[in-house]
Each structure stands twice: as structure tokens, then as C-alpha cells.
Amino acid sequence: MALGAAALLSTVLSATWPVQAQTPIVIKFSHVVAADTPKGRAAEFFAKRAGELTKGRVKVEVYPNSQLYKDKEEMEALQLGSVQMLAPSLSKFAPLGVKEFEAFDLPFIFDNYQELHQVTQGAVGKAMLAKLEPKGITGLAFWDNGFKSFSSNKPMHKVEDYKGLKMRIQSSKVLDAQMRAIGVVPQVMAFSEVYQALQTGVVDGTENPHSNLYTQKMHEVQKHLTVTDHGYLGYAVVVNKKFWDGLPVDVHKALDQAMTEATKVANDHARQLNEEALAKVKASGKTEIYTPTPAERLALKKAMAPVHKQMESRIGAETLQAIYKETGFDASKL
């Protein structure tokens, strides 16, 4: 076909086809973990349901494993509108100026998922997400990952065993304080760089929920894992506010529904995925897994407890008290 005729045909088609048939609304959803993790699976599920519920008007493209952006870059990309949706861990919001999110990093703040959900699925969580709005970000949901373990190339049984270890942390001042409380030298690093840093000895160890450790193959370069459950790692699913506010009402409604369903998928399966990951680490035979005695765990808890008070003014006493009220946490009882 001659070039002129092709151009004419394309003009005629674009004038007559329904708009949605030609131009689906694309949502780029970038994240830094593997597809087979709680976040990766929930993102895929959201993409599928968003497509189904909008009958193809919305196409969610999921980019896992830091394929598009690393930690810090993805937050900037969201604000600039280069991607529309992310689910960064809660530790990664403070650099935006929303320090309240670092409350989730406080050691031993939640004893279990139930206590955590009192916060994330209730009024306190809702108020926290609202704090993102002035940053041009709309918070849609909290997704779980799980409770963290320490890994390194040395056995970690007693509090003294951690002293002098260099460990990778996420960009959170609370995690920095938590590590210093037990004599660990913390080093902030993007998630995508951790495996190599462990392999080459740039850092000695790190902390992770088991699904992250296993899917990044960190167990292959860490000889010891101590199942401490000393802290929580979870996510806020966020969108670029301008993009979100500009969506047609019916699309909005469908995406809200898809997000409600995806949140259920994330939160119903996170625990199981982490348990499976731990079993796989064990089966690999590469990492020795240690479960601290109740006394050892209590000693760790006591050593880290002062971090709550130290970080109170940074996080905000009001936010902290609201969380404690939901969970019944009482540092003075340690």
C-alpha cells in the first residue's frame, strides 16, 4: 500500500474506532523483588484482575526485580510520572519526608500478623497513607511480606555475636539505630545490589523476610541464618496522584476492586510463601538455620528496646502511641 493511502487509512480508523480499543490506559508497575514473592505475586494478580475488570481498557505492565528502577530511582520515577504504580517497602518512604512510615521498622513492634493488621487494615494505617498525598502520591493499600531474620557468615546466637558485623540495611534511620543497638555497623544499599555485596564481602550480612533472601539466592552466599522475627517488612502500594485522579470514574471503581482482591492475595499468602522459602533454604543445605532460645530472643529484644524511645521524636509520638494502642506494645514492660 502506498504511504499516503496507509496514512489516510490510519486517520480514518483512529477517527472511527472506540477510543479504548486503540489506547488502553497503561499502568507501569515497577518493583524490586522477584516475581515469586508475596509482592511479585500480588502485583501479577492485580495486573490480571485490572485487565479483566476493565475489559482490557487498562493494561498493567509489571516490571519485577529492579528491571526498570532501583529503590531510590523508582520513587522519583513515580513522582515524575515515568511509572504509575509501585509497592516500596515501608522503610523507603522516610526519604520522601514521610518519617511516620519508619514506625514499622521498630524492632519487635509487632508480635504477629494479627497485631500488624490492626494497624495496617485499620484507621491508623489509613491516616498514614493520607500523609503521602502532599507528595503527589496516593496510597492504595498495605501489602504484607513478613518478619525478618538475620543472615551472615558467622553464627549469631547471643547478642554479642552480632558485634562488629557489617550489615546491609534499607534506607531507614530506625533500622540504622536498631543495628547500632547491637553493635552492628549498618550500610544502606539498594536491594538489587545486596547479593553481590554479600558475595564479595562488602558487607557480612543482612536482614530479610525469607522469601526475599531465597529468591535473591542470598542463602548461597550466607552460611548462617538466625530466625529472630525481630522486625517486620511490608509494603505500601502507591500511585502517582495526578494519574490516579485523572482516571474515568468506572475505571477507578474497577481498579479499586482489583486492588482489594490483590491485597487479600498478598496478605493471605505472605506467611505461607515465607515458610516455604525457609524450607527451601534449609533443603539447599547451604545455610545453617538457627532458632534462638526464648532467653536469647529476649536478650535481643531488650538490647533493641531503647530504639523505640530514641526514634520517638523522628517518627512522631502521636503515630507511635496510636500504633502501641492497637498492638498493646509496652516497652517499659521489657
Task: Give me the residues that bind ligand LMR (CB under 6 A), please.
Answer: 32-33, 89, 145, 170, 191, 212, 233
Q: Which is nearer to ligand LMR, 65 or 310 (CB)?
A: 65
Task: State in angstroms the smallest separation of the CB of 6 from ligand LMR.
Answer: 45
Task: State in angstroms the smallest separation of the CB of 190 from ligand LMR.
Answer: 7
Q: Which is nearer to ligand LMR, 149 or 170 (CB)?
A: 170
| Chain centre to alpha carbon of residue 243 | 22
Task: State in angstroms the smallest separation of the CB of 64 from ligand LMR.
Answer: 10
Q: Which is nearer to ligand LMR, 70 or 158 (CB)?
A: 70
CA pair distance 42, 91, nearest whole angstrom: 19
Q: Give the type of residue at 217.
A: K
Q: Give the type of residue at 246.
A: G
Question: Which residues have C-beta within 8 Å of that of residue 93, sequence separation ≥ 6?
Answer: 101, 102, 132, 236
Q: Which is nearer to ligand LMR, 84 or 145 (CB)?
A: 145
CA pair distance 281, 9, nearest whole angstrom: 58
| Chain centre to alpha carbon of residue 299 | 28
Q: Give the type of residue at 7.
A: A
Question: Which residues have C-beta within 8 Å of that of residue 155, sequence separation ≥ 6?
Answer: 161, 224, 226, 288, 290
Distance from first CA to last CA of the chain, Å, rounded?
80
The number of beta carbons lying within 10 Å of the beta carbon of residue 2 is: 7
Q: Which is nearer to ligand LMR, 132 or 305 (CB)?
A: 132
Q: Which is nearer to ligand LMR, 57 or 99 (CB)?
A: 99
CA pair distance 34, 195, nearest whole angstrom: 13
The closest residue (CB) to ligand LMR is 89
Q: Which is nearer to ligand LMR, 53 or 174 (CB)?
A: 174
Task: State in angstroms the smallest separation of the CB of 201 from ligand LMR.
Answer: 19
Taking alpha carbons only, the member of 48, 89, 77, 83 closest to residue 63 is 83
In Å, what is the CA distance from 205 to each residue of 29, 60, 218, 219, 301?
A: 29, 35, 9, 10, 19
Task: State in angstroms the smallest separation of the CB of 325 from ligand LMR.
Answer: 27
